[in-house]
Amino acid sequence: MFEFATLASPYSMPAALHGDATLTDSSAQSRARALNQFLAGVELKAFKIAQAALRHEDDALDAVQDAMLQLARAYADRPSQEWKPLFYRILENRIRDMQRRRTVRGRVLAWLPQRGEDDDEDYDPIAQAPSPEPQPVKRLELGEAMAALEKALGELPRRQQQAFLLRTLEGMDVAETARAMGCSEGSVKTHYFRALQALRAQLGEFYL
C-alpha cells in the first residue's frame, strides 16, 4: 500500500509527509555539496582561461562569477557529469559577450577626438622589435616561462586558445571539449593542433 502511495500523483498525496521532506532536504543538500565541490574544482582554472581570453583580471572574475551563477540557477538539476562542459560553454558565451561589448566600446571611443592622440602610445618600437634572444628559448625561470606562455596564448585565435586550454589545463577529453565549444570533435582536434604548432613556433620546441 505504501509503495502505491509513493507512486501516486503528488496532487493526490498529503501536503507534506515528514519523511519525504527530510529526503528532499538531504537530496538538495547533497546536490548543493556536489555543486560546491565542482565549482571549487574549476574556479581557478576557469579564471585562468577567462583571463587569457580577456586579458583583464576583473573582467575575468566577472565572467567566471556570471558562469557560476547561471550554472547554479539553470543547470544545477542536470546530472553532475554534464556540469563541466555546460559551465565552460556558459563561460565562453560570457567571454564572447564581453569581447563584443569591448569592440563596440572601442568603436564608440574611436569617434572621440582625444583618442587619436593616444594612438602613438600604443606603438612601442622597442617592444615591436625582434627579440635578440636566441630562438627557441631553452631555459627560462618559471615566472618568465609563465609570462611567455601567457603572452603566446594571448596571441592565439580565440577558438584555438579555448581548445588548447580546455584540453591541456582543464584536462577535458575531445568529446567534452567539443560539447563545451559547441563544435565537432574534428574541429577540436584541428584547433588544438594549430594552437600547438603556433605555441611551438613562438616558444620553441624545448620550452622550459
Partner 1 sequence: MSPADEPVSAFERNVRTVLEQSVQHIDARTRSRLNQARQAALAAQAAPRRAWWRSLALMPAAGAAAAALLVAVTFMQHRGPGELPVLEGPHTAVAGEDYDLLADSEGLDLVENGDGQFYEWAAAQADNGESESQG
Binding interface with partner 1 (CB under 8 A): 28, 32, 35-36, 39-40, 43-45, 47-48, 57, 61, 64-65, 68-69, 71-73, 76, 142, 145-146, 149-150, 165, 167-169, 171-173, 196, 199-200, 203, 205-208
Give the Å distances, CA to CA, from 166 to 49, 56, 109, 189: 8, 19, 34, 12
CB-count exposure of residue 169 (10 Å: 0-12, 13-18, 19+): middle
In the complex, the smallest distance separating the C-beta of residue 165 from partner 1, rounded to whole angstroms, is: 8
> What is the rounded CA–CA span in Å between residue 35 and residue 40?
8
> What is the rounded CA–CA span in Å between residue 1 and residue 182?
48
Nearer to partner 1, 36 or 135 (CB): 36
First to last CA, the chain: 69
In the complex, the smallest distance separating the C-beta of residue 127 from partner 1, rounded to whole angstroms, is: 22
- Over the Cα atoms of the chain, what is R_g? 24
In the complex, the smallest distance separating the C-beta of residue 102 from partner 1, rounded to whole angstroms, is: 21
Nearer to partner 1, 20 or 173 (CB): 173
In the complex, the smallest distance separating the C-beta of residue 90 from partner 1, rounded to whole angstroms, is: 11
Nearer to partner 1, 64 or 180 (CB): 64
> What is the rounded CA–CA span in Å between residue 66 and residue 22?
31
Nearer to partner 1, 125 or 134 (CB): 134
How is 65-109 classified by DSSP, letter by letter? HHHHHHHHHHSTTS-GGGHHHHHHHHHHHHHHHHHHHHHHHHHHH
In the complex, the smallest distance separating the C-beta of residue 106 from partner 1, rounded to whole angstroms, is: 26
Nearer to partner 1, 65 or 99 (CB): 65
Question: How many whole angstroms from its chain centre is CA 104?
Answer: 22
In the complex, the smallest distance separating the C-beta of residue 6 from partner 1, rounded to whole angstroms, is: 21
Nearer to partner 1, 78 or 96 (CB): 78
